[in-house]
Amino acid sequence: MKNVNKLLGLGAISVMMIACTTNPITGRKTLQLANDQEISAMALQQYRETLSKSKVITGTTAAKSVQNVGARIKNAANNYYRGIGRDADIANYQWEFNLIDDKQVNAWCMPGGKVAVYTGILPITKNDTGLAVVLGHEISHALAGHGNERISQAMIAEYGGAIIGSTTSGQMASIFQQVYPIGAQVALLKYGRSQELEADEMGLYLMSMAGYDPRQAQPFWERMESTSSGNRPPEFLSTHPSPENRRADLDKHMAKALQYYKAAGGKI
């Protein structure tokens, strides 16, 4: 029995090593055990359900901005991944960008590229560049596989090593719903601090690649922080780093972001 357990343990370690993924933009390594196609299919179902229960705005200037800014960042990401020979990583993404009439100061992107922006955040974004900060950050969550990472963490926490390579559809659906609550509750989804910091960094680079000035990221986050009511921040900031850590982190990555911005035709 000890030998069997040892072999199972070695097999689990081998699977984990294979499932270790490196972000090609930030270099961060993560464990992603779940099947991306399965996650994307469940995300699409949740997204459709959320939209069906929401007032989706179309045809307005704001709605068009969400579409256009999202498309520019998506295209910049596609070009980057294609340029480094990793276009297969995002070949199955089916991007959608929708504006939802809701006073919440929030935006999110589910696995597979399903994005929602709430009207409540638009007074803070102010313009397309501010919107690019938000969309760059949210798109980065999807591209970095943060959904898979969180699901993998939940799989291990709930089922241990036995779950590796043997997840049933029912177990996977249950875990997914823990990570991405059904319907309107999806707006409350939360990532860990390390994932938020990575989305900050990656989002800064993506918006720069898309031709948006990364120096406008700091003013946006300052405006966002100023909306906090007492000790309760907007949901968008609920698991985010402290303002001080964010400022320091953005400053650390700004020189590289400006290189991407200059390459995209921006003026330094």
Q: How far is CA 252 from the centre of its chain?
A: 21
State the catalytic residues: 138
Nearest to 199 by CA among 136, 248, 246: 136
* Six token digits for residue 96: 């959608």
Q: How far apart are CA 107 and CA 115, in angstroms?
A: 8
Q: In the chain, what is the greatest distance between 2 CA atoms, to the nearest angstrom?
A: 66
C-alpha distance from residue 56 to each of 13, 52, 101 (Å):
45, 8, 6
